[in-house]
Amino acid sequence: MLEGSSVVVVVPAFCEELLIARVIETMPAWVDRIVVVDDGSPDRTTEVARAVGDARVQIVRHPERRGVGAAITTGYLAALDSGARATDVFCVMAGDGQMHPDDLRNVALPIVRDEADYVKGDRFRDPAVRASMGLPRWIGGQVFSRLTSFATGQPISDSQCGYTAISRRAARALDLDGLWPSFGYPNDILGQLAARRLRIRQVPVRPVYGTEQSKLRLRHLPPIFFLIARAAIRRKRAATHD
């Protein structure tokens, strides 16, 4: 536990047999549960995760690939099945090892201390991120972040970062079944949070880039623009109902 609150880490994974063991093995000892969601991987992701032998690990496997957003939703639903405190924390750390485990405490603490309902990691505060991320990815992140910030009315610096934490209370308030199942999930959940006036906070995190390859493709870009536009519409509708 972390300052009296239970911590569940959701680990979405697709074809991560080479990296998933390291993600589990470096998970901090104060994490109570690790929900690995294998999104229909054709490789040995599930078998490798199970072989680590960590008693905290629960594995949920999709029979076929549904998308990273769907995997995170599955993890949230599994996390909601246990615990009771409104400030219990559900964190997300991807199975590709790009999220530094030493940052997990800072991501989770604003939820534990009831200072936020949702916490986003912000990679862009790292002065070396532009070089390590690569210019095209950096530019894309900047564009999506500014558009998402405008659409939600929230100061979002890194909309696409998947290193997050949410309170049990906030997770229950979301329409989890209606969340976007694929890339663009971060923009969709920010839209839902903003429409419900839930508190969003950002904390700096260190990006970890190695030999893994990004699964984001050009075909994913139009849906992200659509989801940002939908976030703006949701926010406007919520304002009209005040």
Q: Domain 7-240: which topology?
A: Spore Coat Polysaccharide Biosynthesis Protein SpsA; Chain A (3.90.550)
What average pLDDT does the structure give for the chain? 92
pLDDT tens digits, one per residue of 62-116: 999 999 999 999 999 999 987 677 779 999 999 999 999 999 999 999 999 999 9
- How many angstroms separate the CA atoms of 120 and 148, rounded? 13
Predicted local confidence at residue 86, as pLDDT: 76
Decide if pLDDT at 218 tops 70. no
Decide if pLDDT at 214 tops 80. no
CA 242 to chain centre: 30
pLDDT tier at 34, thresholds 50, 70, 90: very high
Decide if pLDDT at 211 tops 60. no
**3-class DSSP state of 37:** strand
Supply the pTM of this predicted model. Answer: 0.91
**3-class DSSP state of 28:** coil
> Quick one: angle between helices 185-195 and 221-240, nearest 10?
0
Tokens of 154: 């929230």
Tokens of 156: 């979002």
Distances (CA, A) of 190 to 67, 141, 152: 18, 15, 7
